């Protein structure tokens, strides 16, 4: 979290602190929302909290960092080079996290699908430790500086500094969310996913291949986390083997806050948590230490009054 | 057409079906009668690969289908109207019907089939865009039947389609089953409403505690002592 502090410190020197924190919160929230979607998609379809999802995200950050290192990039890019590198990193990040996530389902969760619900949950926690420990043994416990490859610069609007990177992050996230919503609502496969989420047995009776549909859900959830990983690297500028733990916890909170299983809830919750966190950092005395406490306090409060989240849960129908 | 041969099946340690043998011929309406927990739904689930038989076989026109998985069974154009309807409650009526046609790739065929379903159930057409969870029980039953018909099935299985419906709706359901048969679809029907079922069926089986205890023409079953005492109220 120290790294986040420096980002905020750098940004909040401009004139309108409130608007600045709103801007920071939206940027942060866009990334939280992308990761939260992975929790909510998986929960919606097999009622599993995929505790390893944060580490799936972390693997995206680590692998894309290694790619950037191997390419020897260490200064802001521009023009075609920038577009090409971003495209490459996003594709690699998405692929790594997507296949890792789907692989985890295939190897661990699928075998436990008919087991009592505690079993896959514990498997997910185990997978989380495994994914963290592999990176720890491989890369060590150091923070690595992510090379400064995105062009600096931006503009000031109503006293709030908006960096080009922030715009890129929000546009990318919103484009992905729009794509996801279109896919789920208008395609045959998306319809099969929704049907499986509501009633897997009835979906199977329509001819839906349930295993394949669940695999695709994990692929999509992982891919969104992988895309978030790439921009998170550039935003935070540091790569660490435990990054996924805290970010995963925040994104999970976002998913629950919005109503788990509900993709619109995850997006809403992601942005809301981003805003709450950045405003808490600024406006609560000693805010940095307290920002996570505030986030979770809001979660507790909302769940007391709206146990199914702000937009409502969407979980399988009970028969 | 469809044959269950000496099927033993169950869940976990408990065996529900004992040596169940049932045959459904092309063009027939065959009904399976039985009390609660006799194994009627398990029989349906076994046909559709949702329960694996421990021994015995399920064949469709001579080909074993108990090893092809649920999607394999659906691909062979069998459709099930499941117990308690199981419509997709958060989807619209139209989306439910489109789910029914999941195995059909030809858009024109899907559109045509949807027209036929809407002709059969005009009520559904009125509620085209409505979310299925807000339909009444009777409408949901129509939707479940329409959804099964969307798959252009050769054989349609129905698990207690009259359950929980008012007498008028029960009559509608049985009328519809006859119309479905007239369109050349074979029907295998599981029912507790023995009188209504036997009135439209050609043949029937009686299932008791997982055993087939009786099999005869529907006409004979209607006058059979055991059936009269156990299922027809005297």
Q: What pLDDT, in 10s, does the model give residues B35-70?
A: 888 999 999 999 999 999 999 999 999 999 999 999
Q: Are the beta carbons of B90 and A314 separated by less than 8 Å?
A: yes
Count of CB atoms situated within 10 Å of the CB of B115: 11
Check pLDDT > 70 for residue A4: no
CA-derived radius of gyration, chain B: 17
Q: A316 with A199: CB under 8 angstroms? A: yes
Which of A204, A314, A317 faces B70 most closely, judged by CB atoms? A204
Which of B50, B90, B100 faces A198 most closely, judged by CB atoms? B90
pLDDT band at A303 (very low <50, low <70, confident <90, very high): confident
Which of B74, B86, B95 faces A207 most closely, judged by CB atoms? B74
Q: What is the sign, positive or negative, of the torsion defined by CA atoms of B227, B229, B233, B234? A: positive
Residues 6+ apart with CB under 8 A from B123: B139, B142
Q: Nearest C-alpha of chain A: how many angstroms from B11? A: 12
Tell me whether residue A153 is exposed, middle or buried, using C-beta atoms within 10 angstroms of its C-beta: 0 to 12, 13 to 18, 19 or more. exposed
Report how far residue B234's alpha carbon sits from residue B232's, in angstroms, rounded to the nearest whole number: 6
Q: Are the beta carbons of A198 and B147 separated by less than 8 Å?
A: no
A204: chain B residues, CB-CB within 8 Å: 50, 70-71
Q: Does B181 touch chain A (CB under 8 A)?
A: no
B41, B46, B70, best to mutate vs chain A, most A CBs in 10 Å: B70
Check pLDDT > 70 for residue A211: yes
B81: chain A residues, CB-CB within 8 Å: none
Angstrom distances, CA of residue A182 to CA of A56, A186, A189, B99: 24, 6, 11, 17
Q: Does A209 touch chain B (CB under 8 A)?
A: yes
Answer with the residue of higher pLDDT: B135 or A316. Answer: B135
Q: Nearest C-alpha of chain A: how many angstroms from B221? A: 31
Q: Are the beta carbons of B74 and A194 separated by less than 8 Å?
A: no
Chain mean pLDDT for chain A: 92
Check pLDDT > 60 for residue A242: yes
Q: Does A194 touch chain B (CB under 8 A)?
A: yes
Q: Nearest C-alpha of chain B: how many angstroms from A205? A: 7
The per-residue pLDDT for range A35-52, each reduced to its tens digit, is: 999 999 999 999 999 999
Tell me the count of A-B CB pairs closer than 8 A: 62
Check pLDDT > 50 for residue B176: yes
Domain locations along chain A: 35-252
pLDDT at A3: 55
Mean pLDDT of A18-34: 96
Q: What is the sign, positive or negative, of the torsion defined by CA atoms of A258, A46, A196, A198? A: negative
Residue in chain B closest to A198 (alpha carbons) equals B88
pLDDT at B234: 59
Mean pLDDT of A265-280: 95
Mean pLDDT of A93-100: 98
Collapsing DSSP to helix, strand or coil, B11 comes out as strand
Check pLDDT > 80 for residue B110: yes
Q: Does B129 touch chain A (CB under 8 A)?
A: no
Q: Does A264 touch chain B (CB under 8 A)?
A: no
Check pLDDT > 90 for residue A299: no
CA-derived radius of gyration, chain A: 19
Check pLDDT > 70 for residue A8: no
Check pLDDT > 60 for residue A1: no
**Could you tell me which of A1, A21, A44 has the C-alpha nearest to residue A312?**
A44
Q: Quote the crossing angle between the two packed helices A164-186 and A188-198, to the nearest 10°.
A: 80
Q: Nearest C-alpha of chain B: how many angstroms from A202? A: 6
Residue in chain B closest to A206 (alpha carbons) equals B100
The per-residue pLDDT for range B70-83, each reduced to its tens digit, is: 999 999 999 999 99
Residue in chain B closest to A114 (alpha carbons) equals B12
Q: Nearest C-alpha of chain B: how many angstroms from A193? A: 11
Residue in chain A closest to B79 (alpha carbons) equals A205
Residue in chain B closest to A203 (alpha carbons) equals B99
pLDDT at A15: 67
Q: Does B153 touch chain A (CB under 8 A)?
A: no
Pairing of strands B2-11, B14-24: antiparallel
Locus of tokens 């209504």: B196
The percent of chain B in helix, strand and coil, each rounded to the nearest 5, is: 40, 30, 30
Q: Are the beta carbons of B90 and A188 separated by less than 8 Å?
A: no
A208: chain B residues, CB-CB within 8 Å: 71, 99, 102
Check pLDDT > 70 for residue A9: no
Count of CB atoms situated within 10 Å of the CB of A6: 12
pLDDT at A14: 45
Residue in chain A closest to B86 (alpha carbons) equals A202
ipTM confidence score: 0.92
Which of A202, A204, A209 faces B88 most closely, judged by CB atoms? A202
Q: Are the beta carbons of A205 and B48 separated by less than 8 Å?
A: yes
Q: Does B102 touch chain A (CB under 8 A)?
A: yes
Q: Does B106 touch chain A (CB under 8 A)?
A: no
Q: Are the beta carbons of B89 and A191 separated by less than 8 Å?
A: no
This prediction has a pTM of 0.91
Q: Does B100 touch chain A (CB under 8 A)?
A: yes
The per-residue pLDDT for range A125-146, each reduced to its tens digit, is: 999 999 999 999 999 999 999 9
Residue in chain B closest to A201 (alpha carbons) equals B50
Check pLDDT > 90 for residue B216: yes
Q: Does A192 touch chain B (CB under 8 A)?
A: yes
Which of B84, B89, B99 faces A206 most closely, judged by CB atoms? B99
């Amino acid at each position: 979290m120290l790294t986040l502090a420096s980002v905020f410190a750098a940004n909040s020197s401009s004139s309108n602190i409130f608007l600045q924190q709103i801007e920071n919160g939206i940027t942060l929230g866009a990334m939280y929302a992308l990761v939260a979607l992975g929790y909510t998609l998986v929960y919606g379809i097999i009622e599993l909290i995929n505790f390893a999802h944060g580490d799936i995200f972390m693997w995206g950050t680590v692998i894309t960092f290694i790619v950037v290192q191997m390419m020897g990039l260490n200064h802001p890019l521009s023009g075609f080079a920038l577009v090409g590198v971003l495209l490459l990193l996003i594709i690699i990040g998405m692929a790594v996290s997507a296949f890792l996530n789907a692989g985890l389902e295939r190897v661990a969760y699928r075998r436990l699908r008919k087991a009592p619900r505690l079993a896959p949950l514990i498997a997910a926690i185990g997978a989380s430790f495994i994914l963290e420990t592999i990176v720890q043994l491989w890369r060590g416990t150091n923070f690595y500086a992510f090379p400064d490859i995105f062009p600096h610069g931006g503009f000031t609007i109503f006293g709030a500094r908006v960096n080009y990177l922030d715009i890129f992050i929000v546009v990318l996230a919103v484009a992905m969310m729009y794509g996801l919503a279109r896919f789920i609502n208008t395609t045959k496969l998306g319809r099969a996913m929704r049907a499986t989420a509501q009633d897997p047995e009835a979906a199977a009776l329509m001819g839906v291949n349930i295993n394949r549909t669940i695999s695709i859900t994990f692929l999509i959830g992982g891919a969104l986390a992988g895309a978030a990983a790439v921009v998170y690297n550039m935003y935070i500028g540091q790569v660490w083997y435990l990054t996924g733990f805290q970010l995963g916890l925040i994104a999970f909170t976002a998913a629950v806050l919005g109503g788990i299983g509900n993709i619109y809830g995850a997006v809403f919750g992601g942005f809301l948590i981003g805003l709450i966190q950045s405003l808490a950092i600024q406006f609560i005395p000693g805010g940095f230490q307290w920002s996570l406490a505030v986030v979770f306090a809001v979660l507790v409060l909302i769940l007391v009054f709206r146990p199914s989240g702000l937009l409502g849960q969407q979980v399988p129908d009970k028969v | 057409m469809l044959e269950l041969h000496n099927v033993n099946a169950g869940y976990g340690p408990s065996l529900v079906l004992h040596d169940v043998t049932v045959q459904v011929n092309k063009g027939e309406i065959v009904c399976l009668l039985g009390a609660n927990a006799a194994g009627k739904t398990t029989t349906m689930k076994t046909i559709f690969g949702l329960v694996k038989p421990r021994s015995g076989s399920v064949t469709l026109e001579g080909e074993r289908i108990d090893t092809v998985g649920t999607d394999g069974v659906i691909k062979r154009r069998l459709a099930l109207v499941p117990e308690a309807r199981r419509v997709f409650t958060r989807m619209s009526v139209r989306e439910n019907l489109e789910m029914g046609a999941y195995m059909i790739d030809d858009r024109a065929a899907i559109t045509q089939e949807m027209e036929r379903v809407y002709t059969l159930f005009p009520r559904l057409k009125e509620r085209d865009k409505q979310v299925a969870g807000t339909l009444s029980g009777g409408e949901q039953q129509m939707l479940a039947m329409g959804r099964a018909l969307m798959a252009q099935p050769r054989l349609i299985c129905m698990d207690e389609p009259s359950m929980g419906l008012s007498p008028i709706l029960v009559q509608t359901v049985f009328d519809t089953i006859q119309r479905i048969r007239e369109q050349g679809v074979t029907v295998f029907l599981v029912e507790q409403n023995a009188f209504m079922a036997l009135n439209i069926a050609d043949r029937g089986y009686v299932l008791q505690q997982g055993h087939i205890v009786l099999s005869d023409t529907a006409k004979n079953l209607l006058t059979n002592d055991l059936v009269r005492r156990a299922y027809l109220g005297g």
